[in-house]
A and B are shown apart, each in its own frame.
Chain A
Amino acid sequence: MNSIQAALKQELDQQSFWKGLSLFDWVWGLIVLIGTGYAHSRYAELMDGYEKVILLSTGVSLVALGWYWKEIRWLSLAVFLLSLFGVSRYVNGLEDAGVDFFLRFLLSSQSAIMWMSALYVLATITYFLALFTRSEFTGKVAGAMTWSATTMGLVGLMVRWRESYLIGLDVGYIPVSNLYEVFILFSIITALLYLFYERRYQTRMLGGFVLLVISAAVAFLLWYAFDRNAAEIQPLVPALQSYWMKIHVPANFVGYGAFALAAMVATAYLIRVRAEGRNPHSLALALPTLDILDDLMYKSIALGFAFFTLATILGALWAAEAWGGYWSWDPKETWALIVWLNYAAWLHMRLTKGWRGKPMAVWAIVGLFVTLFAFLGVNMFLSGLHSYGEL
């Protein structure tokens, strides 16, 4: 064997995907496998076929996600252990939330979500601090805070899932079913999307902008929880009792989260464009370069568009089952279509007309407002035909 062949063999061996997996990766796969198997063996008879498929796909996606994005393994394990501990503290029923030390101050869903809220807000401030001082270290601290907030948010949802079953076995439901819960989901998903790109592009200086939109969501969440008592767990109306919910809602929120991320990147883009023209020493030049911002904006919108397409179609299939037609021109559906058409137009402009830069950034920000209306405004201002409202 000559030197090229030897080097080639070594190179190909080293670079192989399966060989690239660490021991931890394999342990990770095993843990998820065991967990999925256990969940199946324990709850199989309570699940219908669709739910089993959902369980299996969740397991597989989690392994794949953990292999592709290594931090997810730590996040999942932390969420897993904390949630398990939290759930195990409920012995006598829901009233333990006010009695047990750990539940009361840390792990009951309400407390965990308060921690999430506080940490996201702190992370926002810290990210901006990092930008102003141009300190990498501060940026890292902010990143750690965002990870912790995300962990607590997920723990909050997990424990809430269990709490809903503690109210009554027939009450229990996956906590992505009302506005309060999906706002938590929105914060978590937006944060995760950002964290992914942060590592990919080393763009810590962007954090403050993205976290700003999460902080706004947190502010709404707190208002909603305290002023409207929204944190209370209410049983589901019949129309919402469906396995579709388990996939439709999360897919939708990957879409919303990605669109929000794109809009905040667009904001940073516009700020940097302004600064570049005027002041060569401006703080804004600590932001990632315009090329990276532009690319990131496109990537998030593409991701959002793909998942939003998926979510809208899942929604249509669900509607076909619950309301008797896959499309009813209900305001919520119609606004989903509007959001979708809007981003389709955006993508075409960029791809086929080659539009770049400022107009696209402005459009991405406008897109967030359109999305926001579809997500919140429709519920607030337009009365729907949603037949579950009548039932």
Chain B
Amino acid sequence: MTPPRTSALLLKFMGSMNLAITLLVALSIAAIIGTVLQQNQPYTDYIIKFGPFWFEVFQQMALYDVYSSGWFLFILFFLVLSTSTCIYRNAPNMVREMHEYRQNIQLKTLENYSNSCHWSLTQPQEDVQYAAQQIFSHNGYSARLKQGEGYTLISGMKGGASRLGYILTHLAIVLICIGGLIDGNAILKMRQILGQIVPETRNIAASDVPEMSRLGINNPSFRGSVSIPEGRKTDVLFLNYRDGYLVQELPFSVEVKDFRIEHYDSGQPKSFESDLVIHDERLEQPLEQTISVNHPLIYDGYSIYQASFSDGGSALEMIAWPLMGGDIKNKKINTKVGDELSMSLFADPWILEPSNFRLFNINPSDEPGRKFKNSGPSVQFKMRNKTGEAKEFLNYMVPVEKEGLYYYLSGVRSSPAEDFRYLYIPVDDKGGIDRFMNYLNALGDEALLKRIVTELNFPGSALPSNSAAQLNDALIKLVGLFVEKGMEGVTEQIEKNVPSDKREEVSALYIKVLQQMLGAVYVDVLRKEGVDVSLGVDENKAQFFDDASVAIGALNRYGSPVYFQLSSFVHHQASGLQIAKAPGKYVVYPGCAMLILGVFLMFYAPQQRLWARLEPSDEGLSFVLAGHAIRNKLDFSKQYQQIRAQFNRVLTG
């Protein structure tokens, strides 16, 4: 008969230690892959990282979501199967062993054990027998007595629980894996393979997501997240799935009444809390509860966690300051975080996309004694031009201090991977931005520049030129060039027009002249402000001039034709909740308890056996004490020596 033999072979294979170890190692390696390659990132990131070919290969191998890939689940499945087989094969034996006292052991075997000792005694047998039983139980051995033919055998055993430990440990592994499988997204995967669900990849409103990408309230287990602005409620969640998401419906709705961040004195965040209201038809009245990190709300088998926070559409009022020079007025605009605002700037269409508002900016401080400082509110937004390219900006509302001076800070970057580079706009004496803007505008005022060149009278100097008029024109152009393209523009111009042997000399001259022109324009701005400049300018104003000129020189790299000054806001936050349902935990948690208990039993209640054999002989009584342990032999030998010494004292002392 072949079938039983194949099944026996299969059983042997499934329960073999080699398979078990192979599976443990394979699981480790798979787990390593999953940590080295960041999981569940947007697919575009992987394409950038690996190129289209390897992206495809890795995707086929399911490396972007190793832990729910088919092959990973396959290994796990085999581990469960192998462990189960192992239990199936060993458990009956072990249960038997737990209760078996090995009362049929031969004298030879006892004498052959390394822990064995023999006494010839003259005392009465019942006394010795009594003493042996007492000493056995005193040392924690439970004992059984057997009257053999011409001898008496006391068999003692300790640590039967270690066998129970084995069963508990291995059963626990099976339970934990099964529970984990229930809570993992294996079920979703099955449904996706069967074509029942299709992840949504478009960025659309939850209510527009088609039925194919929605999961009903009967979905047994999931873990999703949702961001709820203060004062709003939701009855759906989003589950990230492959390169898209799924919408999970809830049988109740969650409202966020208020979201709060508390801070330590040092400014670091201390707690994140949301006041939630659960609206459920089954409730007589809505359930109100505050949750925070580490203190979730458990409702109806759903766990609701404080996971993150974001802006919930803060209302922003900003002043758009033109940065192109010339006499153009600023303009107030109103928008909201998350909105898009189309506008026309200098005849070009632009889209303003505010993406985040922050009430506090706690940044490392370089002041001694203070680790952090609060730089106040900031707004983050993108400016998208007509080609669709966008630069991202981060503007602070209030001036930020740097080395004792204050600036309006505006960070800019071309991609989220970069750090922000900052534009430092100095503040004027009143703490405002007006002087800077006036100065910038004045630099675009041709009439003013003309007047200034004439007044400065450069033709009298050593500049190479044909005629005074031409020179003046060139100088005005120089200022325009500086505003438009910065110092790089000026240098470029020189390189184009001046032979290399004269370049150094000419540049020095140009820069000096430019400085003079800028200075004169600045003085004019001050004068118009009503500042008395007859005795020159003070140190503060000189510093302002330097900083402002540096900032203007950098405008060409700024990337936006306007500077948005945040003038007022109404803060709305959104609380990021994670909501999970994990029925598998009712299997996993008991499994964990069994695992801990089992492991400790296995290690710290090792099975040990003792035998005392009494046999009447010609001289009196022959007494053999033997012990055996399959584990921790060194320890057991020591213990045996002690017990032997006890017997020695009692029997011969």
Contact = CB atoms under 8 A, between A and B. Distances in A.
Contacts of A383: 38
A324 B646 contact: no
A150 to B, nearest CB: 24
Contacts of A8: 130-131, 134-135, 650
A238 B223 contact: no
Contacts of A216: none
Interface stretch (A117-125, A131-139, A182-190, A346-354): A346-354
A388 interface: yes
B360 to A, nearest CB: 14
Contacts of B303: 320, 324
Interface stretch (B108-116, B289-297, B341-349): B289-297
B646 A326 contact: no
Contacts of A238: 269-272, 292-294
Interface stretch (B19-27, B206-214, B515-523, B548-556): B19-27
Interface in A225-242: 232, 234-235, 237-239, 241-242
Nearest to B263: A235
Nearest to B127: A4
A65 to B, nearest CB: 15
Interface string A209-251: 0000000000000000000000010110111011000000000
A338 interface: yes
B31 A235 contact: no
Given A338-B31, A349-B21, A387-B307, A321 B294 contact: yes
Interface in B7-53: 17, 20-21, 24-25, 27-28, 31-32, 34-36, 38-39
Interface stretch (A98-106, A152-160, A304-312): A304-312
A168 B650 contact: no
Interface string A369-391: 00000000010001100011011
A324 B35 contact: no
B599 A324 contact: no
B299 interface: no
A345 B25 contact: yes
Q: Is the interface of B mostly helix, strand, loop or mixed?
A: helix
Interface string B312-354: 0000000000000000000000000000000000000000000
Contacts of B634: 291-292, 295
B62 interface: no
B429 to A, nearest CB: 38
Interface string A309-346: 11001001100111111110101001101100110110
Contacts of A310: 596
A357 to B, nearest CB: 15
Contacts of A338: 28, 31-32
B31 A234 contact: no
B562 interface: no
Contact of B134 (A3, A12, A345): A12
B77 interface: no
Interface of A: 2-5, 7-8, 11-12, 15, 168, 170-171, 232, 234-235, 237-239, 241-242, 291-292, 295, 302-303, 305-306, 309-310, 313, 316-317, 320-327, 329, 331, 334-335, 337-338, 341-342, 344-345, 348-349, 351-353, 378, 382-383, 387-388, 390-391
B292 to A, nearest CB: 7
B128 interface: yes
Given A4-B128, A323-B305, A329-B34, A15 B28 contact: no
Contact of B17 (A327, A353, A378): A353
A12 B139 CA distance: 10
Contacts of B135: 8, 11-12
Contacts of B180: 327
B264 A168 contact: yes
A188 B131 CA distance: 45
A352 B309 CA distance: 51
15 contacts: A2-B123, A7-B649, A11-B649, A324-B307, A325-B223, A334-B31, A334-B34, A334-B35, A338-B31, A341-B31, A348-B17, A378-B35, A382-B35, A383-B38, A391-B293
- Closest 4 pairs (CB-CB, A-B): A238-B293, A324-B578, A324-B305, A331-B35
Interface of B: 17, 20-21, 24-25, 27-28, 31-32, 34-36, 38-39, 67, 123-124, 127-128, 130-131, 134-135, 138, 180, 183, 223, 264-266, 268-272, 292-296, 303, 305, 307-309, 371, 578-580, 582, 585, 588-589, 592, 595-596, 599-600, 603-604, 631-632, 634-635, 646, 649-651, 653
B646 A15 contact: yes
A306 B598 CA distance: 9
B141 to A, nearest CB: 14
B650 A390 contact: no
A238 B294 CA distance: 8
Contacts of A241: 271, 293-294
A310 B169 CA distance: 12
A7 B653 contact: yes
A8 B123 CA distance: 13
A324 to B, nearest CB: 4
Given A352-B17, A378-B35, A324 B651 contact: no
Contact of A345 (B21, B31, B38, B308): B21
Given A4-B650, A313-B596, A321-B294, 6 more contacts: A7-B653, A235-B264, A237-B268, A306-B604, A324-B223, A338-B32
A326 B582 contact: yes
B293 A11 contact: no
A212 B67 CA distance: 38
Contacts of B650: 4, 7-8, 11
Given A4-B131, A303-B603, A321-B294, A237 B34 contact: no
A29 to B, nearest CB: 22
Contact of A235 (B24, B25, B130, B268): B268
Contacts of A316: 592
B264 A170 contact: yes
A387 to B, nearest CB: 6
B303 to A, nearest CB: 6
Contacts of B599: 305-306, 309
Contacts of A317: 589, 592
Q: Max chain A CB contacts within 10 Å: which of B28, B38, B600, B604?
A: B28
Contact of B39 (A171, A306, A324, A329): A329
B31 A321 contact: no
Contacts of A303: 603
A350 B326 CA distance: 84
Q: Max chain B CB contacts within 10 Å: which of A338, A352, A383?
A: A338
B596 A344 contact: no
A70 B142 CA distance: 29
